Amino acid sequence: MNYETAVLGNVGQASEELLSYWQLGINKFILSGFPHVNEYNIVSEEVLPVLIDKINEESSV
């Protein structure tokens, strides 16, 4: 089976897209950027902190 989905855009756009999945109840993601290790670093250092802030904001409402 192949369920390829790509999240593209700047940090804000990517975090918004991932937030929409979280709002649907999806809370686990598989990142497949091999061999582009730099993409993992961008996601972990830039996108995830923004996404976590957005999730915390929604959870506190």
Per-residue pLDDT tens digits for 18-58: 999 999 999 898 877 666 788 888 999 999 999 999 999 99
Residues spanned by the domain of 34: 11-59
pTM score, two decimals?
0.82
Give the pLDDT confidence score for residue 46 in this predicted structure.
Answer: 96
Is 42 a domain residue? yes
Is 6 a domain residue? no
Pick the residue with more confidence: 4 or 58?
A: 58
Is 3 a domain residue? no
Residues of 23-42 as b/e, b for ≥16 C-beta within 10 angstroms?
eeeeeeeeeeeeeeeeeeee
Is 15 a domain residue? yes
**Count of domains in the chain?**
1
At 16, is the pLDDT very low, low, confident or very high (cuts 50, 70, 90)? very high
Q: How far apart, in whole angstroms, are the C-alpha atoms of residue 35 and residue 1?
A: 21
Is 19 a domain residue? yes
Is 1 a domain residue? no
Is 32 a domain residue? yes
